[in-house]
Amino acid sequence: MNTRERSELRLSPAELRQRIRTGEFHGNTSGLAPGFVQCNLAILPQDWAGDFLRFCQANPRPCPLLAVSENPGDTALANLGNLDLRTDVPSYRIFRDGQLVDEVDDILEHWQDDFVTFALGCSFSFEEALIAAGLEVRNVTQNVNVPMYRSNISCQSAGPFAGDMVVSMRPFVAADAIRAIQICSRFPAVHGAPVHLGDPGQIGIEDLQKPDYGDPVRIDENELPVFWACGVTPQVALEAAAPPVAITHSPGCMLVTDKRNAELAIL
C-alpha cells in the first residue's frame, strides 16, 4: 500500500465522498472508510419504483433495503449522511431498456426529477465483521473481487422484477463456516446469514472456478464453499425488467455512508 492509499484509508466517509465528488478519487471503495456502511445503489423512474420496492421487500436477503428516497428527485438519502447521489459514487452504470449503455463518473446530466433511489446493504460490511472475528476472507487475502454465481434459487417476483438469486462465495473450514453463520446472522441488513453451503450443484452452480461475476478464489481441500445472497441480484432483476432508464453503481464502487457497520447489528 502506498502513502496515498494509506491516507485514503484514514479518510472519514465525508472526506472520501468529497474526494470522489471532486474527481480526486476514482475506483474501488473496498477497505476505505473502515467501520462505515457502503451501499449498492439502484436509481429508477418513479413509475418503476413501486414494483422495485416490493421486489426488495419480498427478497430481503439479496436486496436488503437500507434507505429509499423520501420524495422523487431527492438527491440525498436521509440518515446516510450529507451526500449527493449524483456525484458521490466513484462510478455509475447507465442502463436503457435493460441494456448497459454507459459507465460514467457522475450522473449530473442524467438526473431526472422523477428518479427514486434505493440504497441496499453490501457484503463489505459483513466481511469486515468476519475479519474482525479472526476469519480469513479469501477474496480479501487474495485481493480480488469475490466470486459470484447465478444460482437456481428463484427470487419472488414483483411486477416486471424477477429472476434467480445471484450468490457470492467464500470458502471456510467447517468450524469457521459455523462461526461465519453466527456472525452474519447479526447483520440481516447486509445480506444476513448464508443461504447455502457445501455442494454447489444443489443450487445450480456447475463450476466454482468459473464465476459469472468477479474472480475465482482458491478453495482448499478441507474447505466448504459458503454462499451468501448477493447485491448483484437486484441488478439482474433490473436488466430483466428493462425500464427505459436505470442507474446503478459500478461493481465495487459503492456509495460510502456515515452509518456505522456496528449500527446494523441486530444484537
Shortest CB 228 distance to its own copies, Å = 11
Using the rule CB under 8 A, is 224 a contact of its own copies?
yes
CA angle 217, 125, 56 (to 5 degrees): 95
Cell 440518515 sits on residue:
79
Q: Binders of its own copies: how many residues, by CB under 8 A? A: 19
> Which of positions 151-170 make contact with its own copies (CB under 8 A)?
none
Closer Cβ to its own copies, 3 or 222, answer by number: 222
What is the chain's Cα-based Rg? 18
Cell 485481493 sits on residue:
143
Q: Which of 49, 197, 236, 237 is the binder for its own copies (CB under 8 A)?
A: 197
Q: How far apart are CA 203 and CA 261, in angstroms?
A: 29
Rounded to whole angstroms, the maximal C-alpha distance in the chain is: 53
Site string for its own copies, 177-196 (x = CB under 8 A): xx--xx--x-------xxxx
Sheet containing 148-154: order of strands: 148-154, 164-172, 224-229, 196-197
Using the rule CB under 8 A, is 175 a contact of its own copies?
yes
Q: Which of 26, 198, 218, 263 is the binder for its own copies (CB under 8 A)?
A: 198
Using the rule CB under 8 A, is 174 a contact of its own copies?
yes
Q: Could you give phi then psi for residue 202, rounded to 5 degrees?
A: -65, -20
- Interface residues with its own copies (CB under 8 A)? 173-175, 177-178, 181-182, 185, 193-199, 202, 222, 224, 267
